[in-house]
Amino acid sequence: MEHLGHKQFFLCGHDRGARVGHALLTIYPSAVSKAILLDICPTLSMFMATDQRLATAYYHCFFLIQPSPFPENMILSNPRLFAEKSLLGLASTSISPFGTEAFAAYFAGLFNPASVYAMCENYRAAATVDLKDLRENISEGRKIECPLRVLWGKKGVIEECFDAVKDWREVAEERMVDQGSKAVESGHYIPEEEMPEELLVHVKEFLVDG
């Protein structure tokens, strides 16, 4: 962002993007003026609260963190099956939330060994160096310092297994989690699942006009 000439900016991230966003908010606290995080709870909170319900729904989180090349080889042996059981397993039995072109792009990446390796490395990092950094944030008192709005799907795992507002308040400075944080009528894929219009309202209201 600095390379592009932006010293400060808004941030909106979904799932893995929100995890990267959380790291950015604590490592570079002056870079982001406001943030919206979608259908996610802090990584450490999720690992600490894992129970049978979460492990069943988010089985891929524990599969992809296994040492290379085990998960990579399993995925590459049948990319279509993995796509159906992971992407569609979190949404529905249809590609309609994504659109044909977007799903085709996701699907194509699962045939590329480098892409699959990078995907697994992202999850492995979440279970290793990310947890180390998050524990250091707690011990050193680093918290999110900018206003934050959290949105999650009423039909998803975050609604069923977590108290999203409580979890984000624990890693943010006092009164930084916005009162507009709430569950929306969606599953996991808020930007894709019939919710882009409502998400745009939140972006304009909280980030642009707020």
Q: Mind telling me the catalytic residues?
A: 15, 188
Q: Which two tokens stand for residue 166?
A: 């409580």
Polymer length of the chain: 210
CA–CA dist 196, 187 (Å, integer): 13
Peptide bond into 69 cis (omega under 30): yes
Alpha-carbon distance of 87 to 98, in angstroms, equals 10
Cα angle, residue 84 at apex, residues 78 and 86 outer, rounded to 5°: 100
Distances (CA, A) of 105 to 74, 79, 100, 166: 20, 13, 9, 35
* Whole-number Å distance between alpha carbons of 157 and 187: 8
Q: What is the amino acid identity at position 28? A: Y
Which residue type occupies 172?
Answer: A
The rounded distance, in Å, linking the Cα atoms of 190 and 105 is: 18
